[in-house]
Structure 1
Amino acid sequence: MNLKSFCEGIRLNPDAQKLLFDFHKDEESYNRHKQQFYNNRFSFFETVKQYPNHRQLFLYYYVRFAIDAYGEYQRRGIADQIYFDTFTDIEIWCSNCKRDFGEYGIHEYEWLQEHVQLRLFRLGRLQFQPSAFDRELEVEGRKIYKNQIVLNVHIPSGEPLEPQQVEESFELARGFFRGITPIYICHSWLIYPKLDEILKQTSNIIKFRNNFINYQIDYDAREAEERIFNKVSSDPSEYEAHTTLQRSAKAYLMAGNKLGSGYGIKL
């Protein structure tokens, strides 16, 4: 795997690609920072953040780390399609960086560590991340134990949540994570039980939420506002509303309601 093939595989923006090709990092420096990342990622984060072009540096390093991870994908027999799909998150967060900061780079540097360390995979529409469950819980007569390995579900931005694609992702996960009991956990604004008050039952978001049984609600979370409006404001009247979802959410918030997040489980 080389830089050109990787960038084409994740469909990285051409201007962001040019930025990467213009970087001239000697291999000794790169390997030193790579070792720092794998030995102590927090130290690595702090080191990179000292540079004025730290967002571009995070992009450069994560692309290089992802390219280096390709060999492990091959050793595990994981298909190239899954490899490229998983690392499209770099393109997504790079584009978000351009939107939010006016430059191509990576701002969500903590999140992308999961991908390069092969702890998260995108299988179709959804991402899955094995992790230890943080509590004991009984759902529909089944008991889930604390520290039992479950599959956290994450929803990358950029595409509709078509029900058929969602179901196909769960089916792919059942085959990919053989040996892990198919118990799926999702913590997201998309699981918030009061979304019925701003969305129709025919909404793909509602259909996605209905895959899960809600077991906890965080009424004070602001993730919904961040995802819907691309920012969080203390005054909801400041939100721009161009889509049906934005208009409904803005009206709901201006009426004094909250858009929190939910914790859901799918057996």
Structure 2
Amino acid sequence: MTMREFCEKIGMDEASIQQVEQFSIEDTVYTSYKRAFQEDKKRFFARLKEEENWHVFALVLYIRMAVEVYETFQEKEIADQVYFDTFSDFRIWNEECKKKYGICGLTECEWLSLPLELKIFRLGRLQFEPIRLEKAIETEKYTLPEGTKVLNVHIPEDGRLDIETCLDAFERAENFFQETFEAFVCESWLVSPKLKELLGEDSNIIKFMGLFENYGIVYPFRQAEQRVFGAIREQKEEYPEHTSLQRALKKYVLDGKEPGMGQGVRLRAEKRS
């Protein structure tokens, strides 16, 4: 697979693909970075930031590594669709970099290293990361002890949060990971119960939240402002009001309130019945 084929399959725009093709990383430099990635990630990430034009350097480096890891996906008999969907995060964060800095590249290099290590997979609308609970989760109905194997759910900024596509993603995850986990967990502003003060029951966000049982809210955590407005501003009156969600959240935070980051848990299907 060529780098162009990879970029096209994950949906990158032609202008970004051309920049990727034009940016050269010498083989000795690439090999050095690859070794550092495998042996000393802290140094790897620090070294990346030292590169001139490090955003685009990181994008090209990561794409080259992703092309190589395709062989591992094949060996594990993971479908091509899962491979390309998983690495579509490179496209999403490249678009974010262009929006924020006006240049092609990546910024969230620690986060985007996970698919390169096969530690996270996108299955339909959602991403799933196998982890063990660092602390027990207690709800009114059950307790998941510390160390329990779960799937950490992440929501890519990639279109509508349609409830049917989310349910399909959970089903895919149960088939993909099979019996290796007990529940889904999600820490996100999208599962904060406080959003019920902003949105109606017909909202996709509220429907998505309803798929989980809440077990806490983390404060202070301004993830909602970051995601809804694109950046956190200390002068909250400057937030845009282009959508109904922006208008509702702006009024909410101007009133001195904060949605925080919700913590939700959803048992796998056979354990819910």
| Fold match by TM threshold 0.5 | yes
How far apart are the structure 2 equivalents of 1:181 and 1:131?
A: 9
Tell me which residue corresponds to 2:270. none
Tell me which residue corresponds to 1:16. 16
- SS of the residue corresponding to residue 153 of structure 2 reads strand
Report if the CA contact (8 A) 1:189-1:262 is conserved.
Answer: yes
How far apart are the structure 2 equivalents of 1:154 and 1:60?
A: 24
Tell me which residue corresponds to 2:131. 131
Tell me which residue corresponds to 1:170. 170
- SS of the residue corresponding to residue 127 of structure 1 reads strand
Shift of 1:143: 2.9
TM-score scaled by length of structure 1: 0.97
How far apart are the structure 1 equivalents of 2:103 and 2:138?
A: 47
Structure 2 matches for 1:18-33, cutoff 5 A?
A: 18-33=18-33
Shift of 1:148: 1.4
Shift of 1:265: 0.4
Shift of 1:166: 0.5
How far apart are the structure 2 equivalents of 1:138 and 1:45?
A: 36
How far apart are the structure 2 equivalents of 1:173 and 1:229?
A: 30
Tell me which residue corresponds to 2:190. 190
Question: 1:205-226 CA distances to partner (integer Å, 9 max, x unpaired)?
Answer: 0000011111111131010000
How far apart are the structure 2 equivalents of 1:223 and 1:14?
A: 31
Identity fraction in percent: 39
Shift of 1:23: 1.7
Tell me which residue corresponds to 2:81. 81
Letter of the 1:127 counterpart: Q
Tell me which residue corresponds to 2:49. 49
Q: Are residue 247 (structure 1) and residue 247 (structure 2) matched? A: yes
Tell me which residue corresponds to 2:38. 38
Report if the CA contact (8 A) 2:183-2:265 is conserved.
Answer: yes
Shift of 1:52: 2.4
Question: 1:167-219 CA distances to partner (integer Å, 9 max, x unpaired)?
Answer: 00000000000121340000000011110111111000000001111111113
Tell me which residue corresponds to 2:226. 226
Shift of 1:38: 1.4
Comparing 71-80 with 36-45, which one deviates more in the overlay? 36-45
Letter of the 1:203 counterpart: S
- SS of the residue corresponding to residue 111 of structure 1 reads helix
Tell me which residue corresponds to 1:201. 201
How far apart are the structure 1 equivalents of 2:182 and 2:17?
A: 38
Report if the CA contact (8 A) 2:150-2:185 is conserved.
Answer: yes
Shift of 1:141: 3.9
Q: Are residue 67 (structure 1) and residue 67 (structure 2) matched? A: yes
Report if the CA contact (8 A) 1:191-1:261 is conserved.
Answer: yes
Report if the CA contact (8 A) 1:225-1:259 is conserved.
Answer: no
- SS of the residue corresponding to residue 129 of structure 1 reads strand
Q: Report the RMSD for the aligned CA atoms in angstroms.
A: 1.1
Shift of 1:145: 1.5
Question: 1:67-86 CA distances to partner (integer Å, 9 max, x unpaired)?
Answer: 11100100000000000000
Tell me which residue corresponds to 1:100. 100
Shift of 1:29: 1.6
Structure 1: give runs of 5+ residues left out of the alignment: none
Tell me which residue corresponds to 1:113. 113
- SS of the residue corresponding to residue 151 of structure 2 reads strand
How far apart are the structure 2 equivalents of 1:169 and 1:97?
A: 27
TM-score scaled by length of structure 2: 0.95
Tell me which residue corresponds to 1:7. 7
Report if the CA contact (8 A) 1:174-1:182 is conserved.
Answer: no
Tell me which residue corresponds to 1:142. 142
Letter of the 2:51 counterpart: Y
- SS of the residue corresponding to residue 106 of structure 1 reads coil
Comparing 178-187 with 188-197, which one deviates more in the overlay? 178-187
